[in-house]
A and B are shown apart, each in its own frame.
Chain A
Amino acid sequence: MKHTIVKTALLLPCAAALALSGTGTALAADAAIPQLSGVWQFGRCVRDNGEVAQPFGGPGGNCMLLEENDARLTERAKAYRDAIEEAAQPKYDCAPISIPHMWSDPYSYQIEQKDDRVVITYGKDDVVRTIWLDGKGHPKPAINEFFYFGYSLGHYEGGKLIVETTKFAFDPQGLNADFKLASSTQKKVTEVYQIVDGNLDVEVTTIDTFFLKDPWVFHIRQAPDSEPLALPWACDAEASRDILKLAPSDYPNDPPIVRIQYP
């Protein structure tokens, strides 16, 4: 009887922790660690005065988008933008959209907090990011390794998850795929996650001295999403390219683009 009570007393908090995490990985109760696990909706911009804007609506509502002629863009960024033809954007081969531009796409995403890492699964492009928690003995990238989503290192501090991501591959759509704004291997994205009134708050700061004169900072708030992610995304390349037949080539004297077949 005594053993049963002890077992129950031990099992109940474990079950509660498992239920909270939703991932099967119980995190130690620690005030420094916010409970971020769950599915979160597309974010809305938080203005400087604390008001939450409608998506893409009104002043401050487009904080996640770097506009075509944004004042923060360098002349170099504009030159790349003007030289790259729309059809050459990797998105037409189903390549994913990197961060921070990923935030501007209206999809939910899931966060799973594990002991040694945080896994973020996006509702678009079948993208899964791994944020390695500092000090857990994770693998580090070699000097010659670069990635679409970079290499993310995170730590918990005062109820926040702070993530720094570097080692991005050069990406012609790395700052904005729709305006052809590139990002370089010098892009660094810092994300700060915390829970505010049951919602997920994220502040995202991007620097890239090749393409941005000043840091680009935005602050978004995301409500919990009651619906699971609709995965797999299963991008269809032909459907992805469908719109290109409505866009004339910038280089009509060049031979026509012939897409290779991927294995």
Chain B
Amino acid sequence: MKFIKTLCATIAFSVVTTAAFAHHSTNGIYDETKEVELTGRVISWKFINPHPTLKLAVKDASGAEVEWDVSYGGSAVTHLVRRGYTADTFKPGDVIKVKGFQALLEGAHGLLMERNNPTHEDGSPIIAPRE
């Protein structure tokens, strides 16, 4: 609860009940009944297998930056390529908005994005669909 309050105070936050696409390798890791939206600065983007990794710096209630691990779940490079991603999709310093399911582990900063795509801060798309 304390963690949620902290999140609410500093970042764009919304809770939406969705019909989640549950990838089984993430079973029990994320709360897949609630969707969370947050805005942060890209620390790193590694376009690697088995799962590309995106790390974001997000400000907490005190204004300090907290590192979040944003996961695409079971998706690998080949899946994200088909969705229009490349190794250069994100650069350190980019400010982006992500939406997904928050990690269940207390105090952890993990987000399962899976089928969503990050957007620019103003909500405009970053990922151009592949022709």
Which A residues are within 8 Å of any B CB, using their own CB? 56, 65, 91, 94, 105-107, 123-125, 176-179, 230, 233-236, 239-240, 242-243, 245-248
Contacts A91-B50, A178-B27 known; list 10 others, CB within 8 Å. Answer: A105-B74, A106-B74, A124-B76, A177-B25, A239-B49, A239-B52, A243-B26, A246-B104, A246-B108, A247-B28
Contacts A236-B49, A239-B51 given; does A123 touch B28 at CB 8 Å: no
Contact residue among A91, A177, A239 (Cβ-Cβ distance under 8 Å from B53): A239
Contact residue among A94, A123, A178 (Cβ-Cβ distance under 8 Å from B25): A178
Contact residue among A65, A179, A235 (Cβ-Cβ distance under 8 Å from B49): A235
- B78 at the A/B interface (Cβ < 8 Å)? yes
Considering the complex, give the chain A residue whose CB is closest to the CB of B24.
Answer: A178
Residues of B within 8 A of A177 (CB): 25
Considering the complex, give the chain A residue whose CB is closest to the CB of B21.
Answer: A56
Most chain-A CB neighbours within 10 Å: which of B21, B51, B52? B51
- A159 CB to closest chain B CB, in angstroms? 31
Most chain-B CB neighbours within 10 Å: which of A94, A176, A230, A240? A230
Q: Is the CB of A243 within 8 A of B29?
A: yes
Residues of A within 8 A of B71 (CB): 242-243
Cα–Cα distance between A260 and B11 once the two chains are bound (Å) = 39
Residues of A within 8 A of B103 (CB): 246
Instruction: Count residues of B near A (Cβ-Cβ below 8 Å).
Output: 28
- B120 at the A/B interface (Cβ < 8 Å)? no
Cα–Cα distance between A107 and B77 once the two chains are bound (Å) = 11
- B81 at the A/B interface (Cβ < 8 Å)? yes
Cα–Cα distance between A259 and B27 once the two chains are bound (Å) = 23
- B34 at the A/B interface (Cβ < 8 Å)? no
Q: Is the CB of A234 within 8 A of B49?
A: yes
- A259 CB to closest chain B CB, in angstroms? 16
- B15 at the A/B interface (Cβ < 8 Å)? no
Q: Mark B65-88, 1 if CB is under 8 A from A, else 0.
A: 000010100101111010000000
- B105 at the A/B interface (Cβ < 8 Å)? yes
Cα–Cα distance between A103 and B119 once the two chains are bound (Å) = 33
Residues of A within 8 A of B100 (CB): none
- B118 at the A/B interface (Cβ < 8 Å)? no
Contacts A94-B50, A233-B49 given; does A247 touch B77 at CB 8 Å: no
Residues of B within 8 A of A107 (CB): 76, 78
Q: Is the CB of A246 within 8 A of B29?
A: yes
Q: Is the CB of B108 within 8 A of A245?
A: yes
Cα–Cα distance between A243 and B46 once the two chains are bound (Å) = 14
- B48 at the A/B interface (Cβ < 8 Å)? yes
Most chain-A CB neighbours within 10 Å: which of B25, B105, B110? B25
5 cross-chain CB contacts under 8 A: A105-B74, A179-B27, A230-B77, A230-B78, A246-B30
Residues of B within 8 A of A240 (CB): 50-51
Cα–Cα distance between A240 and B29 once the two chains are bound (Å) = 15
Contact residue among A94, A105, A236, A245 (Cβ-Cβ distance under 8 Å from B46): A236
Q: Mark B18-58, 1 if CB is under 8 A from A, else 0.
A: 00010011111110000000000000001011111100000
Residues of A within 8 A of B26 (CB): 243
Cα–Cα distance between A76 and B24 once the two chains are bound (Å) = 22
Cα–Cα distance between A179 and B77 once the two chains are bound (Å) = 23
Cα–Cα distance between A229 and B96 once the two chains are bound (Å) = 31
Q: Is the CB of A235 within 8 A of B29?
A: no
Cα–Cα distance between A243 and B105 once the two chains are bound (Å) = 11
Considering the complex, give the chain B residue whose CB is closest to the CB of A57.
Answer: B21
Q: Is the CB of A239 within 8 A of B78?
A: no
Contacts A178-B27, A239-B51, A243-B71 given; does A230 touch B108 at CB 8 Å: no
